[in-house]
Amino acid sequence: MRRPSVTRREMLGALALMTTACKRGFDDDVPPTPKKPATTASVASPPVASVSAAPPVHSSAGLRVIEWDFPPDLSIPFDHTWARKCAALVPDPLPKGEEKIPLLIALHGMGETVDPITGIYGWLKAYELDKAYSALHSPPLDDADFHDLVTPEHLAEVNASLEKNPFRGLVIVCPFVPRQISAEVSFDDYARFLADKVIPRARKELPVIPTTAATGIDGVSLGGISALTMGLMRPETFGAIGSLQPAVFDAPQADRIAAEAQRSLKGRPLRVTTSEQDVYKDALVVFDQKLTERKIAHEFAIYPGPHDYIWNKGPGAIEMLLWHDRTLRRT
């Protein structure tokens, strides 16, 4: 088995940087703690619900939200120590003329590892993905949609793209990411959960295109490095890999991940996005250089803004949705 591209020591260092970033964030951008819908019971410990139970359903800005619970796999060490829970966000209605659409697995950051409900609603509530989704369906976008974290040139570019090729939509599944990922919960075990449980259920119960090419993974910060690592590990599962402000914190780690990409990317689309005040920007610039040196096709972007919730709500959510909407439809 190959040495993981993210070691436990590196992840601990990354978590420390994430904590520092959150401490110096915007006071008015502290994420709200999402309330669990009244149709479900509060979570006091990791759920062991029957998969056959009727999942709770509600709606948010044109997205139908379905909660899923999965029982732990007792054959996997530590699997019982974290909640195998997801929120599936399904466009309602589906794009005109389409019965099935691409699937995106979207992973939250460290701030939402506090409990499963906060985690699965990280993108929808803390990062306001529904507002970005709605804005993309109602162009032109303006500075407010990006929370003023956009240059005039890039805003014009996004609007020109939307005019030529309108945003159509994705099914987005948001699983809970445990804080102990890469340690007690290995990337391999978590990737197996996504590949063997979450994605098959999505293909069975949701209107998604059942192919690797139409299945993407993305995430921010802790979720960004997790998406990058597991996306590279699973070429048979993910057809495209995105990573927003991933927790890569030095050049040696960047070099190892680039080496893994050389072995495992296999021509799949890869996009890494950072921001001007991202605590990981310098290491990610090195990562971009290492990928370029190895002649690995990829996209790399640096946008305005900090490593904080305001960026997730603006450029992070918009760029993630738009890139996967374009990329996962190239079948």
pLDDT per position as a tens digit, 31-83: 444 433 333 322 233 333 333 345 666 666 689 999 999 998 777 666 667 88
| Whole-angstrom distance, CA of residue 90 vs CA of residue 67 | 11
The reported pLDDT for the residue numbered 6 is 56
| Whole-angstrom distance, CA of residue 57 vs CA of residue 278 | 36
Q: Are 170 and 206 in contact (CB under 8 A)?
A: no
Contacts of 136 (CB under 8 A, 6+ apart): 162, 167, 318, 321, 322, 325
List, for the chain, all residue ranges whose pLDDT scores fall below the cut of 50: 1-4, 12, 16, 19-53
Angle formed by the axes of helices 152-164 and 317-327, to 10°? 40
Angle formed by the axes of helices 251-264 and 222-233, to 10°? 30
pLDDT tens by residue, 285-314: 999 999 999 999 999 999 999 999 999 999
The reported pLDDT for the residue numbered 110 is 97
Instruction: Please give the full DSSP string across 231-268, using - where no structure is assigned.
Output: HHH-TTT-SEEEEES----SHHHHHHHHHHHHHH-TT-
Q: Are 107 and 119 in contact (CB under 8 A)?
A: no
The reported pLDDT for the residue numbered 75 is 72
**pTM of the prediction?**
0.85
Structure tokens at 299: 């996209």
Three-state DSSP state, 85: strand
Q: Which domains does the chain have, with CATH numbers?
A: 8-327 (3.40.50.1820)
The reported pLDDT for the residue numbered 27 is 30
The reported pLDDT for the residue numbered 236 is 98
| Whole-angstrom distance, CA of residue 324 vs CA of residue 271 | 10
